[in-house]
Structure 1
Amino acid sequence: MVLPSTYADSNCSLARALEVVGERWTLLIVRDAFYGVRRFGDFATQLGIPRAVLTARLKLLVREGVLTRDESAGTVEYVLTDKGVALWPIVRSLITWGDEFYSPAGVRRAMRHDADGAPLDPDGRCTECGTLVAVPDIRMEPGPGYEPTGKELDPVSAVINTPRRLLDPITTAPSRS
């Protein structure tokens, strides 16, 4: 039995969602957008993704309303929309799952409530105050399972690997977009 190449006409919400975020690289692009990556060249450098693939994925994410393409700062930047930010529980869950099953040394990037510094539980609640922490109030920092990859000299990686709030734009020297 031959499977269809797309599920756009499917009556299944999961299948239709996978049409948007299910391609290889797409969730990594979204993850990096949460980390503050905004420029084409920075996505390409950080992910090591072929430029043609990155172009296609960014166009899809913009067309589907997950990202916006902002040219107002004199450079092209890709910014998560509200629809894109709504993907955070999925991204967070996949990170947590990956840490549990594929990171024997422990959590690679710890998530904390920026207001009080307490860790977040797997559901995104602050372990100190019990608040379900909104994405802009989450601080990501290297965790006990963090292992340098050798990319730390790259300015984007250097910023990502320091304690910082999600969605805060990474500001590095302008890159080609």
Structure 2
Amino acid sequence: MKHTSFARWPCSIARTMDVLGDRWTPLVLREAFYGIRRFDDFQQQLGIARNTLSDRLRRLVDEGLLEKRPYHSDPVWYEYVLTEKGADFWSVLLTINRWGDRWLAGAEGAPITVHHTACGHDTQVKVVCEHCDEPMTIEDSRLRMGPGYPPHLRERPDIRERFARQEVE
């Protein structure tokens, strides 16, 4: 089965999914946030096939979310450390976690809580406008073409219609 790349699509969601690629990649990142750094520890925690894990770690290193560092010589063994780009994925995982807590958690409640050490409270992520700090909802948000939207697509009737629907709803 041929992989369709979204890397050049004019959509950051599609581009991000191109980096993630599958269900294992966010879980590998989750383990990195738990402090896992070594191949065998990732493998043990996830129960993932070694070849699949090797592929996901290689991809995360190639995409700049993890850095591969030697920690032992003869033979050389590596650990995988979050980069700034990888650490920035934290808010994405917290947003996915909040959605899962709301829609998939059982009656017993959320399986994991997030503790914000800066204020000392257990909390959930909240998506707010960076300008007014009001919550971002589908009812009061619209998608528009940004400055990076490809000029050759801007005038296509189907693309114009897609964004025009956003303005009238």
Q: TM-score range by the shorter chain?
A: 0.5 to 0.7
Deviation at 1:45, TM superposition (A): 0.8
Equivalent residue, structure 2, for 1:43: 42
Structure 2 unaligned segments of length 5 or more: list them. 128-169
Higher relative contact order (CA 8 A, sep 6+): 1
Deviation at 1:71, TM superposition (A): 0.7
1:28 correspondence with 2:27: yes
Equivalent residue, structure 2, for 1:117: 120
CA distance, structure 2, for counterparts of residue 73 and residue 122 of structure 1: 38
Equivalent residue, structure 2, for 1:128: none
Equivalent residue, structure 1, for 2:94: 92
Greater helix content:
2
Equivalent residue of 1:17, what SS?
A: helix
CA distance, structure 2, for counterparts of residue 45 and residue 34 of structure 1: 16
CA distance, structure 2, for counterparts of residue 89 and residue 116 of structure 1: 17
Equivalent residue, structure 2, for 1:103: 105
Higher alpha-carbon deviation: 111-120 or 36-45: 111-120
CA distance, structure 1, for counterparts of residue 24 and residue 123 of structure 2: 26
Greater C-alpha Rg = 2
Deviation at 1:16, TM superposition (A): 1.2
Q: How does 1:1-177 map to 2 (within 5 A)?
A: 5-72=4-71, 75-104=77-106, 105-123=108-126
Over 6 Å off, 4+ runs: none
- How many residue pairs are counted as aligned between the two chains? 123
CA distance, structure 1, for counterparts of residue 71 and residue 40 of structure 2: 17
TM-score with structure 1 setting the length? 0.63
**Which digits, 9 at most, give the CA deviation of each residue in 1:14-37, with x for residues without a partner?**
111111113220000001100111
CA distance, structure 2, for counterparts of residue 97 and residue 81 of structure 1: 25
Deviation at 1:43, TM superposition (A): 0.6
Higher alpha-carbon deviation: 107-116 or 9-18: 107-116
Change (3 A) 1:4 1:25: closer
Give the residue type in structure 2 aligned to 1:110. Answer: T
**Which digits, 9 at most, give the CA deviation of each residue in 1:116-159, with x for residues without a partner?**
531123329xxxxxxxxxxxxxxxxxxxxxxxxxxxxxxxxxxx
TM-score with structure 2 setting the length? 0.66
Structure 1 unaligned segments of length 5 or more: list them. 125-177
Give the residue type in structure 1 aligned to 2:24. Answer: W
